[in-house]
Structure formats: structure tokens, C-alpha cells
Amino acid sequence: MKAIGYYQSLAIDHLESLQDIELPAPAVGPRDLLVRVKAISVNPVDTKVRKNMAPEAGQAKVLGWDAAGTVEAIGAGVKNFKVGDRVYYAGSIMRPGTSSELHAVDERIAALAPTSLDDAQAAALPLTTITAYELLFDRLKVLKGGGAGQTLLVTGGAGGVGSILIQLARQLTQLRVVATASRAETRAWCLALGAHAVIDHSKPLAVELKAAGIGEVDMVASLTQTGQHYAQIIESLKPQGQLAVIDDLPTLDAMPLKTKCISLHWEMMFTRSRFETPDIAEQGALLAEVAALVDSGRIRTTANASFGTINAANLRKAHALIESGTAQGKVVLAGF
């Protein structure tokens, strides 16, 4: 089967940083779906793994976690899907990635794709949707329909996770949602997704919040550059506020949180699949819930750039855009 992989960690402008390769079809486990991949999207984790995780000598590593496609075969223990089903999902970081014609995924972390979206539009959603949903409801413990009178600050609101988090918070809670963006186009994007207000994260957050008449907030979803904004986040949070973090930090000193009794929450959407936690199926369930929200018109896809067919050259372009830090919404590729 066709796939895109790499043999050594290289800068994305190197022609061998991602290569077109041929691999055997994956083995299918008892709980697995064998999916013919129709579309994928690219996330920051793809670029981080490529830059920092060199494969074993002579072995190719295939990246990619988001996918939409059609079930071609099922394992003996599969209960919820059949051959021919159209699915979308974010795969496990412990298994080969989705940048391949065929991909095996545990049925518990997959769901039927939204019928109102094409494959590329659907592939844009899973990883960021799971991250945003778990952050909001599992980590910050916001109740569905709750949050009245409280304010959520979303840093990096125009990114992949921010773009879906804004929508989930607006559609499923009563939170006031304030996003951060530093360009006119990303500000407009956040407002179109439902943010009540947008402030500029290139300026001190606490100052920007006060200028907007908002003041301190109850919770912060810090999605990027947490280290850079850390002091301002703490200043912006109310006493006994909550901070949820997703980005990679070399260190994080929690002591500055003590005075205000700020609680710290980490969100890592790969945890359930990596450790096969007892509640692993919650990821498939939440993707099914979001598919219904999409098909009812309450949630929209976050796909915002299409880089053509799934091949090494186009995937290198997508990685370069992600690494530039200027991506808005999600980058998608479709077809082999």
C-alpha cells in the first residue's frame, strides 16, 4: 500500500524529511477496523514527532492521527461497525499513523463520520475535537448546559483545538468565551466560530482583558505558548480559578499558582488509547455526539486549507505551515 513516512528526523525543507513509500497492509486485531483512508488532517503533534522521534535504523515511521475513510474489514471482536461504514477518528500514538492507504484502528476510538461533511471536512475534526471536549468536560469539569456567569479564556483561539473548543463551549455550555488572536483574519475567524470577545495575545493578557471590560476570568484553556503567557495567565485568573494546558513545556513551575489556589489540569488526548483505560470508548462516544452536532448544523468543520492529495510533497507543505505558527483552523489532504 502507499504511505508517507520518514527514516530519520530532518528539517521539513529536506526532501527526505517525508517520503513516499510502499508498506504491507496492517494486521487487524480483534477490536480493530481496517479503514481505507480517504482523507487526513495535520496537527502540531505530527511535526513534533517527526522532529524528535527518529525511527529504528532502516525502519520507516508513518505519521498522522486524524483520518476519515471506509471500513474495509473488521476484527473478530468488533461490535459496533460493519464493512462499508464511513468512519472518522484520531488513532493511537502507539500505532502507525494514518498517512497510508489502509489503517488499523481500535473501534472504541472511532465513530461514524458526519454525513453532512465530505471526507476532508470530517478528517479535520477528530484529534482536536477529542482534545477540546476532554479539556472542557473531563479536565475543567464544566457541566453540559452549565457555566452560567463564568468566563473561559481560550489562548490561541484560531488554532485547531481553539477552533473547536470555542464552538463546543458556545453550543454545550453557558460560558462566556473569550478567545485570543493577534491578526485581523484570526480575530474574525474566532468571532465567526462564536467567541463573545477576542483579545490580542501579542499584548499582556491581563491588560487586554481589562481594556475589554472583562477583568479576571474563571478558567483558562492555554493551547499554545503557555510558558510565554504563564505570568499573565495567573494574573488574569480569579482566585480559585482553573488552568488547563495542552502544549509541551520543558518545565512548568506550579508554585506561582499557590497564592490564588489555581488548579492545574493537563489534557493529553492520547492517554485513553495509549493506556487502554477502562473508559477508552468515551472517545468514540464523544465523536459520535459531535457528528450529530455537525449534522444538525450546530458545529462546523474547522478545515480551512486543503493541500491536495496525500503524498510526501503535499504533506511536507502542510508540516511547514504548521511549523510556521500561522495555521488557521485545520490543514487537510484527501485521496492517494
pLDDT digits (tens, 9 = 90+) for 243-263: 999 998 889 999 999 999 999
pTM: 0.97
The reply to whether 7 and 89 lie within a common domain is yes
* Residue span of the structural domain in which 138 resides: 128-266
The model's pLDDT over 284-328, given as tens digits with 9 standing for 90+, comes to 999 999 999 999 999 999 999 999 999 999 999 999 999 999 999
The reply to whether 114 and 6 lie within a common domain is yes
271 is a domain residue:
no
The model's pLDDT over 131-140, given as tens digits with 9 standing for 90+, comes to 999 999 999 9
Last residue of a domain, one of 266, 296, 314: 266
Say what the pLDDT of residue 84 is: 98
Last residue of a domain, one of 248, 266, 284: 266
The reply to whether 19 and 114 lie within a common domain is yes
**Distances in whole angstroms, Cα of residue 172 to Cα of each of 152, 217, 316:** 13, 19, 36
* Amino acid at residue number 257: L
The reply to whether 215 and 252 lie within a common domain is yes
Write out the E strands in the chain. Answer: 2-6, 19-22, 32-42, 61-62, 66-74, 86-90, 102-106, 110-112, 151-155, 176-180, 197-199, 217-222, 237-245, 263-266, 303-306, 330-334
**What is the CA 70 to chain-centroid distance, rounded?**
21
Say what the pLDDT of residue 230 is: 97
Say what the pLDDT of residue 128 is: 98
13 is a domain residue:
yes
The reply to whether 84 and 200 lie within a common domain is no
The reply to whether 111 and 159 lie within a common domain is no
Say what the pLDDT of residue 95 is: 96
CA distance 112 to 307: 24
Low-confidence ranges of the chain (pLDDT < 50): none
Closest CA to 38 of 5, 12, 64: 64
| CATH number (domain holding residue 44) | 3.90.180.10
Say what the pLDDT of residue 289 is: 98
22 is a domain residue:
yes
| CATH number (domain holding residue 252) | 3.40.50.720
- Per the structure block, which three cell numbers stand in for 272? 485513553
- Domain count along the chain: 2
The reply to whether 212 and 311 lie within a common domain is no
| Mean pLDDT (the chain, rounded) | 97
213 is a domain residue:
yes
CA distance 19 to 21: 6
33 is a domain residue:
yes
Last residue of a domain, one of 241, 266, 291: 266
